[in-house]
Amino acid sequence: MSSVNTPEYFTVAELAELLRLKERKIYDLAASGGVPCSRATGKLLFPARDVYAWIASHTTGPQETEASPPILLGSHDPLLDWAVRESRCGLATYFDGSLDGLDRFKAREGVACGLHVYHSETSDWNVPSVDKTRDAVLVGFARRRRGLVVRPDETGITGLGDLAGRRFAPRQPLSGTAKLFGDLAEEAGLDHAALDLAPVSRTETEAVQAVARGEADATFGLETLARDFGLQFLPLIEEFFDLLIDRRQYFEAPVQALLNFCTGDALREQAARLGGYDIAELGKIRWNA
């Protein structure tokens, strides 16, 4: 699983990496018939679908009898939202925040989940949140520039400390954005109670729209959306946005259609048009259960 363009067959080395075993052990398993393999080409090849069925049959503990529904959960991202539509992958979306999505993913309410959860104690993104998740893989999607999105006529906001007493568009508590803003505000000595809060926005776009309509002086948002609405952007951090994907659904048609589309020129060109994205590590396996 070193890239999203997964082959139909694993080599010995690829299967060893997947199972976290030495190559000698893979040869032993093949010789004993312990793992599905083919010798038709004169070398050992392992059919990906059969391998994953074999893994599932050897999983201990309660087994799920039904596949997760084809729903993409978690955090909202404009580029990912666009890719789901353009790829015609057939995945439905339910974007209501990283932490909400992670809970739903663990409850098998979807096949994948968008995440950007910062862990200030380790300065890491997403991996500490998923390291106890079973049968899943974390795939890099993009690095996004995030900061304060401010009205174009506003001159008094240059950093987090200037938000005290200002009208601020917040995100819902179970979003990665709200968690990250809380961490950075605490570091900056900004008392959350000092903010004049507008109604909660449930997506990245809604929060920036609140500023564009004059309903808030600022929000903690994405550069790409600030550009869309002609607003000021004050960069604060570059974040990792990753996709947590159900291992059994990784090779199914909807997820593969989305991932394969994301490796093409269309997504790279769209990311460049939108701005605020770095997709150099798209498809990189960041964590593997």
The mean per-residue pLDDT over the stretch 224-238 comes to: 98
Same domain, residue pair 178 and 283:
yes
Instruction: Look at strands 9-10 and 46-47 and give their pairing.
Output: antiparallel
Token reading at 215: 């309903």
Q: How many domains does the chain have?
A: 2
Is the residue at 226 inside a domain?
yes
Given this model, what pLDDT does residue 13 score? 86
Provide the residue range defining the domain that includes 33. 9-57
Handedness of CA 288, 68, 262, 279 (dihedral sign): negative
Q: How many residues does the chain have?
A: 289
Section 255-276 average pLDDT: 96
Instruction: Write out the two tokens for 199.
Output: 């109604």
Answer yes or no: is 2 within a domain: no
Instruction: Report pLDDT digits (tens) over 74-99.
Output: 999 999 999 999 999 999 999 999 99
Within this chain, do residues 112 and 178 fall inside the same structural domain, yes or no? yes
Q: Give the pLDDT band (50/70/90) at residue 216.
A: very high
129 with 102: CB under 8 angstroms?
yes
| pLDDT score at 61 | 53
Half-sphere exposure of 125 (CA within 13 A, CB side): 23
Give the residue-averaged pLDDT of 157-176: 96
